Amino acid sequence: MPIARFVLVAVTLASSACSSGGSSTVEPSPVAENPTLTVQSSPVVANPTLTVQPSPVAQNPTEPVPPVSAVGHCQNPSYPVVQGATWQYQISGTSSDTFVQTITRVREDGFDDQDDQDVFSSGATRQGSWRCQQGNLIGLSVDSNPSFALSDQMNFTFPVESNTGISFPADPQPGAEWMQTIVYSGQSDIGGTTVVLRNTMQLSCKTIGVERVSVPGGDREALRVDCTTRFDISFAGATALRTTTTGSAWYAPGEGLIKSRDSSHTGVTEIVLLASSIL
């Protein structure tokens, strides 16, 4: 599923820059304090009442427990939010592996998801948390995206300083544009050395239109979204590394992300849906 797909190549690049002793100093471009959001969304209902019905406890432990679907703020036709839903993906290009994403919890105003196995044979795992606002979905950290891959030489504990904009809109009609900017900072263990980093991720997306897409499970009519993601990594207050990823992602109604393709100077990464279970 998730959001217009963006691979965290900046992390691997940072590892290379630190371990080799090389870096490039680039003047950082100003990050918009209030990124522009141009999307069409459902009218906001005054004083909405939201209720998440808990999954009923089965009388017989061997019987499956029905899933919990999103209500109110998290309802999104292109990005289904259902507790217990799973998506299996194949990734190829700069990395090659499969992974399974699961929505583990649906809350009144958000949801949590995770990959239920190690990804990319690196020992890296991903857990994401999302906030919902009238169908607009907001990743609360850069690793909310399911296909982020961290280098096995790096451990991160970065608190988020600020998070503005949205990750995916409630009603992404053709021509809609939106942005999200996340600033986070902290210490990183890179190759045994503790480094203080301050990073900015700026996401800029636009809906292109509906296209027919082929995936292993068959052809789909899917909404194409083009995105550019820029990472600025700063050491000691100076921009030491800047990298940009551009790509496209395709979302099928009621099924979510079925394919994505991203490019950066490290190469091309493609993700395709192998199977899904959304009840």
Q: From CA 156, how far away is CA 139, in angstroms rounded?
A: 18
The predicted pLDDT at position 128 comes to 87
Domains of the chain: 9-41+75-277 (2.40.360.20)
The predicted pLDDT at position 198 comes to 86
The predicted pLDDT at position 78 comes to 93
- Phi and psi, residue 2, nearest 5°: -10, 170
Question: Digits of tens for pLDDT over the chain (279 positions)?
Answer: 444 333 333 333 333 333 333 333 333 334 334 333 333 333 333 333 333 334 343 344 344 434 444 456 899 999 999 999 999 999 998 778 888 999 999 998 999 998 765 444 455 567 889 999 999 999 997 766 543 433 333 445 578 889 999 999 998 899 999 999 999 888 777 678 887 788 899 999 999 999 999 999 899 999 999 999 998 888 766 777 888 999 999 999 999 999 999 998 889 999 999 999 997
For the chain, helix, strand, coil in percent to 5 are 5, 50, 40
Burial class (CB in 10 A: 0-12, 13-18, 19+), 117: exposed
The predicted pLDDT at position 157 comes to 55
Structure tokens given for 203: 């996401």
pLDDT tens, position by position, 73-128: 899 999 999 999 999 999 998 778 888 999 999 998 999 998 765 444 455 567 88
The predicted pLDDT at position 52 comes to 34
Count of CB atoms situated within 10 Å of the CB of 112: 17
Taking the model in full, what pTM does it have? 0.69
The predicted pLDDT at position 229 comes to 93
